[in-house]
Amino acid sequence: MRFFLFAVLTLVRLIGGQAHAAEPSHPFRDTLLLKDPKGAHVSEAYRYYTEPFGPAPDPEHAEAQWRAGRFRPGPWHKTLNLGLMHQRVWLRLPVRNTEARRLRYLWSIFNFADSAALYCRRAGETTFAHLGAASSWVPAAERQFPARSLSFPFELGAGESAVLLLRIDVHTGGVYLPTYIETAEHFLAWEMGFPFERHWVWLLGFYLSSALFNLVLFAFLRDRIHLWYVAYVVAVTLFLMMEDGLDAMLLPTWLYQLLWSVGQYNFMILAGAAGIRIMLLFLRLPQRRRLHQTGIWLAGAAVVLVAGYAALFPWAVRHSLPLVEALNWGRELLMVLVFGYGWVTLISAFLTRHRQRLAAYYALTYLFFFVGYGVFWLNHLGLSSFNPVYPNTLAWGLFAELLVLSALLTGRFRHTLRQNAQLRIRRLQQRNDEGARLIAAQDAEREQLARELHDALGPNLAALHMAWQSNAVRDALAAAPNAATIGLLTEEILGQLYGQVRQLSHALLPTAPGTNRLSTSLAALCDAFNLNGTPHVTTQFEGELDNLPSAVQSAAYRIVAELLNNAVRHAQAHHVQVQLRRRLAALELCVQDDGRGFGRGEDSPTTGIGLRGVRTRAAYLGGTVRIETPAVGTRVVVSLPC
């Protein structure tokens, strides 16, 4: 591993040296002429020098290195970009105020620095004076000059000259330091309009709305890809805010310091881990494939490294600088693996016949971000200093990526809705089929029971009743006066029992669908109940009932029979009224009795077996059941769609 890191470091430095040599030279000034509002850029006159972090910073020692000729001009125009360097940086800059009045200037560093300090030696002085120190670890409001950048104020009188030394300590392994000197008035005017001129206002609004949109999609679909999308957007947005110092202006102290404890570039690794999960879910790679498992392990390794980095880095800065360097190089290596895995996965998916279209769609999304981040990462490594758009290529790459990815996820949302609708239809059909089989089984069981009652129990009761009425039985009862009363009572009970068996058999076994009409079947059923005298059943039919679908007619007959049976057995009613009304799109059944109503018996509205059967039949057809309790008795209203 050490050999590999050394080889990568050597290659980066070699390429970086070639890139530096290829950079067109610009004229250097001996002294930077400061103007109001803004003069030449500091890179036209500053020189830089690097030294190890170990020794305490000493401006006089740095000046001695200047006299020894060890300061060099910056390799890039407008930005000091030294790449992955783990050393302290000194910038030396001679300046002169060209205005005819005293001016206050700010030397600003627009990137994170663990600590920085400004020293000044004016004309006629022999040593450097310490003008101020600052650290990016504190938010903007708590800095020496409250701003998103580390800004160091100094004043020069009319025509006054001075030599400035700026010391910068950056331990995160990326010495990329945009720096400017300008008057305080011009700086404040620029800061006021910065979020608008650099497009951050609407870019952040787009990122936020995109994340909220996917939260809404997750609420509808419960698809985890939308949560990973939100995590991805949040991680990259935090990275971009930290890059331009917006976090120092917008976030509270505790959250700001927590983010920097995690590390700016670690948020890009977390974004890469979330991107892997998005890609795997979008491409629908089989979970048992080695490529899918590699992605899961790589995403997990990214999270573990970020956690370890956040835990070890603060201690390593104070006690083990080699460990700091190892952590930074490990981070860079993992970042390469994460983004390289993305292309390997896309190519593999594209070579799979059933996933070519998904891979092509996602490749466009991945390309936007990869190009933007590629330019940004080359700048981070010190191989280039190219920034063609504001605020940076990564921000616009993320914008284009989220735009395309939102469209893709919207299409996935619509596809998922169609799948869910089809699934609901299949489940509804399955429930309907199961309900139909259940009702058919119940009808078959009822028919068998009715035939047993009608063919076996009914004739036996009739024969017993006739035998009890024979002359032999009457003569025997007449010879025993004490048994005469019991005999008459037994004869009456046998008659009632025979009538109840006939009623029950007719209720259980209606006329077969298609051989008779609903109104005729219900009339015959009610006549059978009236044979016994109590209760008295009356009917009222309105509208065309006999041209209803057979399923509706069968359900209506069964429901009326069940409700009549309830009225006889449980309500002990004396009068029952059955009403059927044909509406425009429904058949309304109303069975009302004058019985005792519902109590805590076996057939209460919530526990009754008979009423559960009524509800089941009504629900099968999409109907409703309403139970009303008037002053006397019970009214049950059933509506069946036609």
Q: Which of 376, 373, 15 is nearest to 174 (CA)?
A: 376
End-to-end CA distance of the chain: 77
Range 578-591 average pLDDT = 89
Give me the percent of the chain exceeding a pLDDT of 90: 34
State pTM to two decimals.
0.66
Range 356-375 average pLDDT = 82
pLDDT at 585 (0 to 100): 83
124: left (phi over 0), alpha (psi -120 to 50) or beta: left
* Side chain identity, residue 424: R
pLDDT at 19 (0 to 100): 40
Residue with tokens 């292309």: 343
pLDDT at 51 (0 to 100): 95
Name the range with the highest mean pLDDT among 5-14, 178-187, 213-222, 623-632.
178-187
The C-alpha atoms of residue 80 and residue 324 are separated, in whole angstroms, by 22
pLDDT at 470 (0 to 100): 65
The CATH code for residues 205-428 is 1.20.1070
Range 401-422 average pLDDT = 79
The band of 18, judged by pLDDT with boundaries at 50, 70 and 90, is very low
Give the CATH superfamily of 517-642: Histidine kinase-like ATPase, C-terminal domain (3.30.565.10)
The band of 400, judged by pLDDT with boundaries at 50, 70 and 90, is confident
- When the pLDDT of each residue in the chain is averaged and rounded to a whole number, the result is 82
Q: Do 267 and 238 contact (CB within 8 A), yes or no?
A: yes
* Token pair of 320 as six digits: 């083990």
Residue with tokens 């976090």: 247
**Which residues are CB-neighbours of 164 under 8 A, at least 6 positions away?**
91, 92, 93, 94, 95, 107, 118, 119, 120, 154
Q: Cis bond leading into 57, ω under 30°?
A: no
Within 553-632, strands assigned E span: 575-582, 586-593, 624-628
Q: Do 51 and 102 contact (CB within 8 A), yes or no?
A: no
Instruction: State pLDDT tens for residues 466-492.
Output: 666 666 666 666 666 666 666 666 766
pLDDT at 27 (0 to 100): 62
Residue with tokens 């009304």: 581
Residue with tokens 């991107």: 275
Q: 29-197, which class in CATH?
A: mainly beta
Q: Which of 168, 171, 181 is nearest to 49 (CA)?
A: 168
**Which residues are CB-neighbours of 627 under 8 A, at least 6 positions away?**
598, 605, 611, 634, 635, 636, 637
Range 12-30 average pLDDT = 49
The band of 533, judged by pLDDT with boundaries at 50, 70 and 90, is low
| 308-339 b/e (C-beta count within 10 Å ≥ 16 → b) | ebeeebeebbeeebeebbbbbbebbebbebbb
Q: Do 596 and 629 contact (CB within 8 A), yes or no?
A: no
Instruction: State pLDDT tens for residues 127-170.
Output: 999 999 999 999 999 998 999 999 999 999 999 999 999 999 99
Give me the percent of the chain exceeding a pLDDT of 70: 81
> What residue ranges do the domains of the chain occupy?
29-197, 205-428, 517-642
Range 585-613 average pLDDT = 70
